[in-house]
Amino acid sequence: MTLQSTIIHPGEDLQEVFQNPKYKPYGIKNFLQIPQISKLTDEQIFDIEVVARVLPFRTNNYVIDELIDWNNIPKDPLYILNFPQKEMLRKHHYDRMAALLKSNAEEELISQTANQIREKLDPHPAGQLTKNRPDLDGEVLPGVQHKYRETMLFFPTQGQTCHAYCTFCFRWPQFTGIADYKFAMSEIESAIKYLRKHPDITDILFTGGDPLFMKTKILEGYIDALLEADLPNLRSIRIGSKALSYWPYRFLTDNDADTLLALFEKVTSNGIHLALMAHFNHPRELTTQAVELAISRIRHTGAQIRAQSPVLKHINNDPNLWAIMWQRQVELGVVPYYMFIARNTGAQHYFSIPLEEAWKVYRKAYQQVSGLARTVRGPVMSCNPGKVQVLGITEMLNEKVYILRALQHRNPKYVMKPFFAKYDPKATWFNQLIPAFGEEKFFFD
C-alpha cells in the first residue's frame, strides 16, 4: 500500500491546483469580517446576532466563496443552511433575546437566557440521552449509543464539532458548550469491550459532530485500536461526515489529507468495509472541482460513499432538486442512502414540512431517476421506536391513513411490518401520529 495509489491525478500537485486553501472559520465573534457580509442589511446582521446567541453558528471560507450564491441573498438555500435566520427562533424567544442585546445586557444574563431558550427546543429528541446508552458491567458508556442490534454509534471526544454548522442540526446541543450535553468519550477501549460482548454488532459508526474534523492522527488511534482488537464480528466501519460538503480540502490539501486517505486504505485492505456516510443537502454541494476530486480520491481507497440528508423547507423541498442530486451522486459513484424528515429539535418549526409533502417530494423525485439511484429510502423519521418510513397515504376501511413501516426498530422483530396511522395533513413528526382504525396503540407499543 502506497500513498501514491490514492492520488488520482498522478504528477498533479494538488497544492498548486487549489493554491493551498486554508481553513478559515467564521462565527458569532468574527462574521462581520466576511467580505460578502456587506450584501446584508443592518437588520439581517442583527438577526444573525440574536439567533446565533441561541443556536450554534459557524461557517467557513469554502462555504462562503464556493457554495453560497451571494446574488440570491437571503433566499439562497446554501446561505440558509449556515446563516441563522430570524424565523428560526419562535417570535417570543427572538424578542426576548433581541431586547437583551438592544439594552446591552450583561453577558451572563444573555447566556443564561440562551440556555433557558435552548431547553425549550427539545434538545434531546428520540431518547438520545436516556434510551440508547448502553452499559458495560453496570457502568454507562458515555460515548456510545446502541439502538439497533447491528450498529453501534461511537462519539469520539474530539469529533464533537463540524467544519461549519447546519442550521437544521439535531446535534446542536453538543456544540453549545453545556458540558452535560456531550456524550463524548475519549476511550475506545470500553467500546471495544462492548463490541466483544455483543457479537451481533457488525458496524461501528463514528459520528459527532463530524469525526473528520479530528486530525488524522487521532482518528487513526481509534481505528488502529479497532483493527488490532481483531474483532470477528466487526465488518464495517462507518464515518458520518459533512466534510465533503463543507470542507473537501480535508481530503485534498490539508496537511493530513494524504494520511487520512492512507488510513482509509488501511481499513479496506484489512478486509473491513469502510463507508463514508456523507451528508449532502443540495446538489450545488456536488458541483465544485474540490468535491469532485475529493470523492474520486476517497473512492480510490476502496471506501464507499453513501449519501443522506433530511428534506427541509427553504433548502431542498423540491422533487426536481432531489432527482438532480441523486443522479449526480450516482455519476460521481456515491450511493443515495436515506432521505430523512427534519427531526423534532432546534429550529424544526422553520424547516419541517408535513409528512404528506415529504412523501410527495420523495415519490416525485424517485419517479425521475433510474434504478441506480433508487437505492435511496425515504422519507424516514429517526424517532423513538426506530427509523420509520412513510410508504404512502391511502384509503382503507373508509379511513384515510398513512402507511408506515420501520426500516430499523429497537426490536428487530418489528422491522418491515407495515402499520397504519390516522391521516393528519398537518403532522410533521411521528409523535403527532395516532393509530388508525380506532386502535389504542401501534402494534409494537
Ligand X SMILES: *Cc1c(COP(=O)(O)O)cnc(C)c1O
Using CB under 6 A, list all residues that contact ligand X.
Answer: 132, 145, 147-148, 151, 153, 205, 382, 387, 408
Least gap, CB of 277 to ligand X (angstroms): 7
Cβ nearer to ligand X, comparing 79 with 340: 340
Task: Tell me which residue of 96, 183, 85 sits closest to 141, measured CA to CA.
Answer: 183
In contact, 319 and 365? CB cutoff 8 Å: yes
Strands of the sheet containing 386-396, edge to edge, are: 144-148, 151-154, 203-206, 236-241, 273-279, 304-311, 334-341, 377-382, 386-396, 399-409, 419-422
With CB cut-offs between 5 and 8 Å by kind, which of ligand SF4, ligand X, none does residue 153 bind?
ligand X
Q: Least separation, in Å, of the C-beta of 90 and ligand SF4? A: 21
165 binds, among ligand SF4, ligand X, none (CB under 5 to 8 A by kind): ligand SF4
Nearer to ligand X, 197 or 217 (CB): 197
In terms of CB distance, is 238 or 297 closer to ligand X? 238
Q: How far is the CB of 165 from ligand SF4 (least distance, A)?
A: 4
Q: How far is the CB of 25 from ligand SF4 (least distance, A)?
A: 13
Task: Please say whether the beta carbons of 52 and 28 come within 8 A.
Answer: yes
Which amino acid makes up residue 32? Answer: L
- Select from ligand SF4, ligand X, none the partner in contact with residue 148, using the beta carbon and a kind-dependent cut-off of 5 to 8 Å: ligand X
List of residues 6+ apart from 365 with CB closer than 8 A: 319, 320, 321, 322, 323, 326
What do you get for the CA distance between the two ends of the chain, in Å?
51
Distance of closest approach, residue 291 Cβ to ligand X, in angstroms: 22
For the record, the C-alpha cell of 31 comes out as 462574521
* Distance in Å, CB of 74 to ligand SF4, minimum: 20
Nearer to ligand X (CB atom), residue 245 or residue 408: 408
Identify the H or E element spanning 262. Answer: helix 257-269
Dihedral sign, CA of 238, 240, 244, 249? Answer: negative
**269 with 301: CB under 8 angstroms?**
no
Per DSSP, which regions of 207-326 are E strands? 236-241, 273-279, 304-311
Q: Alpha helices of 211-253 — where are they, by DSSP H?
A: 216-229, 243-246
* Smallest distance, ligand X to C-beta of residue 108, A: 36
Which listed option, ligand X, ligand SF4, none, makes contact with residue 409 (CB within 5 to 8 Å by class)? Answer: none
Nearer to ligand X, 128 or 167 (CB): 128
C-beta closer to ligand X: residue 78 or 334: 334
Residue 171 binding partner per list ligand X, ligand SF4, none, with a CB distance cut-off of 5 to 8 Å that depends on partner kind: ligand SF4
**If contact means CB under 5 to 8 A according to the sort of partner, which of ligand X, ligand SF4, none does residue 147 touch?**
ligand X
The answer to whether 397 touches 409, Cβ cutoff 8 Å, is: no
Residue 209 binding: pick among ligand X, ligand SF4, none (C-beta 5-8 Å cut-off by kind): ligand SF4
CB of 252: closest distance to ligand SF4 in angstroms?
19
Residue 250 binding target from ligand X, ligand SF4, none, CB below 5 to 8 Å by type: none
Among ligand X, ligand SF4, none, the one that 281 touches (CB under a kind-dependent 5 to 8 A) is none
As a whole number of angstroms, the distance between CA 284 and CA 75 comes to 15
**421 contact partners, CB below 8 Å, separation of at least 6:** 401, 402, 404, 433, 434, 435, 436, 442
Q: Which residue is nearest to ligand X (CB)?
A: 147
Q: What is the C-alpha to C-alpha distance for residues 21 and 241, in angstroms, rounded to an integer? A: 20
Comparing CB distances to ligand SF4, the nearer of 6 and 167 is 167
Of 113 and 382, CB closest to ligand X:
382
Angstrom distance (rounded) from CA 427 to CA 400: 14
Evaluate the CA torsion angle 195, 199, 200, 204 in order and state its sign: positive
Could you tell me the CA-to-CA distances from 325 to 307, 364, 393 in Å, in that order?
10, 13, 25
Tell me if 326 sits within 8 A of 365, measured CB to CB. yes
Nearer to ligand SF4, 55 or 226 (CB): 55
Cβ nearer to ligand X, comparing 132 with 268: 132
What's the closest the beta carbon of residue 44 comes to ligand SF4, in angstroms?
21
Residue 212 contact partner, candidates ligand SF4, ligand X, none, CB within 5 to 8 A by sort of partner: none
Q: How far is the CB of 59 from ligand SF4 (least distance, A)?
A: 11
Give residues in contact with ligand SF4 (CB under 6 A). Answer: 162, 165-166, 169, 171, 208-210, 242, 279
